[in-house]
Structure 1
Amino acid sequence: MTILGLEPGFSQDLIRLEKAVTLTGTGNTIRLRVIRQQEAIESLAAFSTYVHSWYPVLRPGFSERYFGVITGPLTPCPESCLVLLVTAIGALARQDHALGGVSHDGSDISEHYLDVAMISLPTVLADSSIESVQSLVLLSIYYNCLSRPWQAYQYAMIASFKVQNLLKCMDESDRDGELGEHARRAYWAVLLVESELCAHFDVVDSGIWKYDDELALPDSRRTWQFDVEEGSPESITTPPTRNILAANLHSSDKTHSYFLAEISMRRMLHRCNTAIRRTTEGEIVYAANIALELELQLDDWYGYLPEILL
């Protein structure tokens, strides 16, 4: 907080203000208004550009799933929740004045999508699918975007326990497939979100760090991204041109490079914190050899960053 020029107690003040607001539940009487195709495309594009580039939890093929669900009956289930949350976060990004957005009709469209998504929350909490984990990750990100860290933390914790159990109980045959890759991406995204929140607020962690040395990093070959120019449901079924494929490959490389760099940096910061111990005399001691090794790792890390991140 000090680095940002904020008072040391700002984080706790933010939590107190958030807790002071009475939460209003949503009933099952909420109806989703008709979603215009252009609105869905623009929200999906905004999500891809401004959010998924930071937390790439989705894999290729999501665009087809998105349009298939968003144009359907939206029966309460984890997949409907996931699609609606993508739309809500994308709509939120579109309305952000800092990103050049403008509110539509003076109403908060993103909140409407969130309310409908929350109808599926009981199913999401009871479900053990990867879609339920992804939905909780996006819920945490949504509340982070609204500067509501307490709710973001609550959903990140639930997502953490779910993804840890999913990975622990996963069959060996699934670990190397799409399910395993989805789970790994969700794990690393939750680890980053939870670690950032725990660094600023006096809250407990979920124990997610005990798996970081055992779990493989995300696959660098394929990450979902969305191009608004080819974004209509009709064009999705059309083979993309070579230029579009090249542009998407560059965008995917950039997104994944950042994701891996962020994971690496968070690991080094975590080791810095865990290398401190207190002696029997009460003196705080830092392992000098570990400090030197981390310094060398940090230099190497910076040296290997791709030019697009410098």
Structure 2
Amino acid sequence: MTLPPSPRRHRRAGLLALRAALAAAALLSTSSCAPGFTVGQGPLATDWRNGTCHRLTSAFDAGLEVVSESAPSVACNTPHNTETLSVKKLTGPLAQYKERPSPFLMATSMGPLCNREELAAHLGARADQPFHGMHVTAFGPTRKEWSEGVRTVRCDAVMEYEQGKPFMNYMLQRPFKDILKSEAGTPFRLCRTTVGKELRNVGCDKPHQAESVGYAPLAAAGTTAAQRCAKTVRAYMRRALPARYAVLPDPVVAHSDQMVHCWVGQADRTELRTGSLYATEDAARAADNAAKKAAKKAAKSAAKNAAKDRTTTGGSS
């Protein structure tokens, strides 16, 4: 007796079956009576150029299970969710395999070639500055490319998405390059908020209580965490701390040889704000010039009023 198939098949099993079907179709396409078989928008040929942008269409495509990404590149001023940071060579024993190794072996060998420091530099962050909503992943050759001798690794910045929301909503229409040096980087700056009793990380475009400004350097013994963070906060905001705001080091450390994660936010920790306290150099310069003009105008007005008062007083005596 043949039992009916279980209705509760694992998603991965379904995907493997789909891939097996695609592979079988590809083999059939080599016969003279079958049309050429392609997947997506074109043949499975990876774009190995630095600085290219790509548009993944499903969350699975951005997952660790996928070791190859061969979608055609798109212009970086059109919607995209990945951007190539660098292209590197895969070496070592794994590179000697005639057939492409398992996804696990590929991921563990390619992963170390694509690091967070490279991503931070591309986004315009300091090496010690946290950010939100972006990670770096490694893509390798397709099976066909591997069989042809390709041993290249592509390191991509990948936008993250929120579970339960449409994947295609998470696209950017400008390059990721240096985005944290501009006002457009607000969604990718790290902020935090309290949900119930839990602290959660969010982008600074969401309501939050505090914003990360990075880590304070080591300091002489005897300095408090807040004192150590003051310089980091000033460099991030490029201005004095506004009223109702406070430096919120986390954690408060007892020893000067420990790094301090510096946050800035509302002095009243129950109060929420939306937006970033980060200031670009141009914005800070414009604010300084505006403040100088306002001070000059106020001084001129005060001098004019003082002269008027002297004239009035002198005429009445």
Q: Give the structure-1-normalised TM-score.
A: 0.29
More strand by share: 2
More helix by share: 1
Instruction: Return the index of the structure with the highest Cα Rg.
Output: 2
- Return the structure number with greater relative CO, CA threshold 8 A, min gap 6: 1
